[in-house]
A and B are shown apart, each in its own frame.
Chain A
Amino acid sequence: EAGVAQSPRYKIIEKRQSVAFWCNPISGHATLYWYQQILGQGPKLLIQFQNNGVVDDSQLPKDRFSAERLKGVDSTLKIQPAKLEDSAVYLCASRGSGYNEQFFGPGTRLTVL
């Protein structure tokens, strides 16, 4: 079975620019998560989707971050405008129905200069 796909794998931008990340979860997985992992720390949840609805976005900085999952499959995470402190790895994970583990993608490493 194919895993969680993310692109791009790496992105370098300057502060105040915009950037978007894409995630394709494992086929059939209804739940999708975006995590932010700052260097030296564990991942932190940004947003959780169930199908195309938001379950939890309490830790998403909504003044600059947005995410969508319009058809309940792929998802995009956008940052506009980026700040230096947004430099991190952005991880996407998905989970199937029932009590299954979360499967993580390889992540997108963002560097904001």
Chain B
Amino acid sequence: AQSVTQLDSHVSVSEGTPVLLRCNYSSSYSPSLFWYVQHPNKGLQLLLKYTSAATLVKGINGFEAEFKKSETSFHLTKPSAHMSDAAEYFCVVSDHGPGTALIFGKGTTLSVSS
């Protein structure tokens, strides 16, 4: 069965410094992997997705993630944090191709200080 582990429940950075949110996955098949962001009182928004194409995936708002099969990781990065990046971030896996339900990690809260 597939699962996702987000290694940090809370990450704090200063504005303008790099962001790293770590995610490891477990999957019996070739997975599809996603990062979603959830701002307070807002719906979940897709940041980026990996679906067996390029291993380095670029998303919205300057975020990117690299799929590393040997390490079963899909870490999310951004070179320079903005205050508006403060939110909850979820790493998500889907095993069985398009249309199947998503398995969410427990989330990482990103705080950005000025």
Contacts and interface: CB of A to CB of B under 8 A. Distances in A.
Interface of A: 3-4, 31, 33, 40-45, 48, 50, 56, 91, 93, 95, 98-102, 104-107
A43 B104 contact: yes
Interface string B52-89: 00000000000000000000000000000000000000
A102 B102 CA distance: 9
A106 to B, nearest CB: 5
B101 A99 contact: no
Interface of B: 4, 34, 36, 41-46, 49, 51, 90, 92, 97-99, 101-102, 104-107
Contact of A106 (B4, B36, B41, B107): B41
A101 B49 contact: yes
B53 to A, nearest CB: 11
Contacts of A43: 44, 90, 102, 104
Contact of A104 (B43, B105, B107): B43
A95 B99 contact: yes
A40 B10 CA distance: 11
Given A40-B107, A101-B49, 4 more contacts: A42-B106, A91-B43, A104-B36, A104-B45
Nearest to B32: A99
Listed residue (A4, A33, A43, A106) with the most chain B CB atoms within 10 angstroms of its CB: A43
A3 B46 CA distance: 13
Contacts of B51: 99
A99 to B, nearest CB: 4
A13 B99 CA distance: 33
A98 B51 CA distance: 13
A98 to B, nearest CB: 7
A28 B27 CA distance: 31
12 contacts: A3-B43, A41-B104, A42-B4, A43-B90, A93-B44, A98-B98, A99-B99, A101-B49, A102-B46, A104-B44, A104-B45, A105-B43
A104 B49 CA distance: 15
Contacts of B49: 101
A48 B105 CA distance: 19
